[in-house]
Chains A and B, each alone.
Chain A
Amino acid sequence: MDIKTVSSSLVKDSYYVTKHPSGLTIFVYPKSGYKSTYAIIGTNFGSVNTRFRVNGGDEITVPDGIAHYLEHKLFESEDGDAFARYAKTGANANAYTSFEKTCYLFSCTDHFEESLEILLDFVQSPYFTPQTVAKEQGIIGQEIKMYDDSPGWRVMFNTLVGMYQKHPVRIDIAGTVESIAEITAEKLYDCYNSFYNLHNMVLCVAGNATMEQVLKVADRMLKPCEEQTVESIFEDEPYEVGQSYIEQTFPVTIPMFHLGFKENVRSEPISSAEAAYTDILLYALASQSSPLYNKLLDERLINDSFDFERMEGPNYAAILFGGESRDPQRAASIIKEAIAQAKRDGIPREEFERAKKAIYGNIIADFNSNDNIANVIVDMYFENRELFAYVDAAANATLEDVTSRLSDILDTDNCTLSVVKGEDK
């Protein structure tokens, strides 16, 4: 088994990566002096993967929210649930489902190998029965309703609903109370057998651990998997957004908004370097030191809740700006003007230099935390990017690299403004 060492002279760290004979890709990022260890295993199966085909076979369609439902149910095995097993090691365990992946994780300061054993065991031991599946309806139903009361969550999802006409990224990650009622043990097994194949998964361990320790457990616990191809099926998504404005009334006293710019779908995710350039560009454009942010502040249109992010997954990518605002329309129009200006005149060199330095510092700070490191490695693995290549690209970016990104993104004629506001009095 070949173990590759990846080092960064900027970060002054190294990590190790290998492809285990079972099919699982394993990353280990040791942190000297740390007492705790964070481990995360992820599969390339998220809420958008509701139509798929295995090894070129028949198309399988599953209910909305099933990836998240499966995440909840995988914790139960025939001989009890994983939380009860973790209770004996002291590890703090959790899991989450996003649009494009499902991840299971824990952090611990003692009994690392036992906890890793539990993690690798339960993700390989599905146990779904009509009774255990039925029990979860009430719990997840309340989880869905909890998010329904969160205006921040609603305003973000409504942006996706406005931007996307067909793509399942417009559907809530947990599905709806109605869609999850259709979930059965059999459908959960269909998903499990299609996506929870070790070749389709990645394990990352960061902190107080070595590759030798991880491999010792992996060798014992991982059952070799036959490689298979899973192809997710997405309806053709038009380039254009479905709605340029979407609004929801909600019991709020200060309105919230998101302005989402839909991108053209590419066959491959953006590269490590493109991701770094995009981060520098967005920082130059909209961070607290940008003319845009300060104009919005001076005009009393935003407060420190204002933020921005780029999101990307299979067949979708978008950039979102948003926060609380008394006048979302006016804020959105100023953001669009600033983007149009940047596209016309470029980014001033001093703003680029500032943004580059700040992004570099922010990246360095992220390497303080085991969970940050491991989460980013897993994210990047599924997007075909590499952490240290991203750092190098950020440190060596030129103004031309960064402005070149502008031609692909932030089309001011293709965006959705989502607003959550109180009822008009």
Chain B
Amino acid sequence: MERFKREKIADGVHFNAIYDDRFKTSRILVSMMTDISSERCAAYSAVAGLLVHSCKAFPSFLSLSRELDRLYGATLSGSSGKRGDSQLINISAHGISDAYSIGGESVYEELAQLLCGALFEPNAADGAFSREDFLQEQRQLIDSIDAQFNDKRAYARKRFLEVMCKGDKYGVNLLGTKEQVNALTPSAVYEAYCELIRTARVEIVCLTSNDTENVKRIFTERFAGIDRAPRTTKTIVVPSADKVTEHTDRLDVVQSKLMLGFRTACAEPDEDADAVKLMCAVLGGTAHSKLFNNVREKLSLCYYCVSSYDANKGVMTVESGVENENIGKTKNAVLAELEDIKNGKVTDEEIESAKLSMTNSYLTSVDSSAGTQAWYLAQVFKGKSLTPQEQAERICRVSKEQIVEAAKRLTLDTVYVLTSDKEGE
């Protein structure tokens, strides 16, 4: 069984407790949301790493890792990601529930203390992170930027976004550029950290079968010592594309990658976002979608051809990996399927199966502890408190007409190709 309780513990800081006794572990997540800034994102990404690689109590990666081993191989992890035009800096802890410790000792509260220490007492002095830690983090950030180029499907996605959302916060690579990372200093990153703790909107999500009051108190006391000045964030939805941007990058790849980007004219919390979600699933979100059945199975053009919708930004993407000579053919095939939806050529079976499939994935997602935590975090950011069941019911109420309308509102914004073909298409 599960229970959800949300409380404000400081200005712009909420503690969200989810009691759930199905899982054998506890999870505590601190999510800090701030506007994406191309100047500051690299520093924030560095903060996400530095906070979980050492802290005042365990001032080296080795000593902190050993402490986590002592807590039954618990993990402390930091990440940086996008939510619309906002950057989320997440610091989280995951470890076994007290019922499973061999000696009956409490792991969960110690882990909460450790997470709090990592967040509020970093390994820093005189307004700067430890130089040794900083250099390690800086090097790993440069490695991560290089690694984005290594995997060609991931690289195509990154380049596509840079092309489609050029000049838009959403198109910013959160790791920053190598120049930006090289220009960071231990004090500049510390300053970014202080800024974050002071100004970010903070959501703490604690998922456990143990008591949450103590953990809430620990965080409340810590945040009481911060002079909070939270800033609001905002995402700009570009309603439609006024022209199609075509961009080709050439690299020594075996398979060409094709990406199509659409403006949907609709993003959450707009109620119409549900219709876009369903339209996207009908088009290419499942193994019985139009793209799967026609572009893959009938035309044998590709192994994958999938559509996805970022409801926070109002952008829909279709991606596929194809032979160089089939790029144009695949693009036309995808657009033809979309045209069919616009013309109402959607069967009841297609709609019904997409609804069933989405219902299934909503309900399945909360059978994992990470999925449950992510579900409630997304809800609080949206300012809602829908259960997966309620969200599924909303999807099931979308009509065929609404799907057709959602498809009609789409405008093709960007066609991106990564290919080795010297001649172009």
Chain A positions within 8 Å of B, measured between CB atoms, are 10-12, 31-36, 81, 83-84, 86-94, 107-110, 135-140, 142-143, 145-146, 148-152, 207, 251-254, 256, 287-289, 291, 293-294, 297, 300, 303-305, 324, 354-355, 357-362, 364-365, 367-370, 395
- Does B143 sit at the interface, judged by CB under 8 A? yes
Q: Report A-chain residues with C-beta under 8 Å of the C-beta of B136.
A: 297, 300
Number of A-B contacts (CB under 8 A): 198
Q: Which residues of B contact A256 (CB under 8 A)?
A: 150
**CB–CB B303/A368 < 8 A:** no
Query: Which A-B residue pairs are the 5 nearest by beta carbons?
Result: A361-B72, A90-B356, A358-B73, A138-B300, A87-B353
Contact B21 A289 (CB under 8 A): no
Contact flags (1/0) for B57-100 with A, using CB distance below 8 Å? 00001100110111111100000000000000000001110011
User: In the complex, A251→B253 CA distance in Å?
Assistant: 8
When distances are taken between beta carbons in the complex, the residues of chain B under 8 Å from A359 are: 73
The stretch among B192-200, B362-370, B377-385, B408-416 that forms the contact with chain A is B362-370
- 1/0 per residue B272-294: CB within 8 Å of A? 00000000000000111000100
28 contacts between A and B (CB under 8 A): A11-B24, A12-B100, A31-B367, A32-B22, A33-B22, A88-B353, A90-B360, A107-B364, A142-B255, A142-B321, A142-B322, A148-B255, A149-B255, A150-B152, A150-B153, A251-B152, A251-B252, A289-B66, A294-B61, A294-B65, A324-B150, A354-B69, A357-B102, A359-B73, A361-B95, A368-B23, A368-B25, A368-B368
A84: chain B residues at CB < 8 Å are: 288
* Interface secondary structure of A, over-half rule: mixed
The answer to whether A90 and B73 touch across the interface, beta carbons within 8 angstroms, is no
Number of B interface residues at 8 Å Cβ cutoff, please give it: 68
Residues A251 and B68 in contact in the complex (CB < 8 Å), given A109-B359, A368-B23: no
- B214 interface contact, C-beta 8 A: no
Say yes or no: A253 contacts B146, CB within 8 Å. Answer: yes
Extra contacts besides A94-B287, A252-B150, A368-B24 (13): CB < 8 Å: A32-B22, A36-B364, A87-B357, A90-B359, A138-B301, A139-B302, A142-B321, A146-B255, A149-B152, A287-B65, A294-B62, A354-B70, A360-B73
Q: How far is the CA of A365 from the CA of B27 in the complex (A)?
A: 11
Q: Does B151 contact A (CB under 8 A)?
A: yes
Residue in A closest to B143 when the chains form the complex, CB atoms: A303
Cβ A146 vs Cβ B364 within 8 A: no
Q: Are A34 and B22 in contact (CB under 8 A)?
A: yes
Query: Which residues of A are found within 8 Å of B69, using beta-carbon distances?
Result: 287, 289, 354-355, 357-358
In the bound assembly, the distance between CA atoms of A196 and B212 in angstroms comes to 51
Q: Which of B22, B69, B304, B323 has the most CB of A within 10 A?
A: B69
Contact B100 A364 (CB under 8 A): yes
Cβ contact within 8 Å between A149 and B254: yes
**Alpha-carbon gap, A143 to B61, bound state (A):** 39
**8 Å CB contacts to A: which residues of B20-51?**
21-25
Judged by a CB distance under 8 angstroms, whether B140 is at the interface is yes
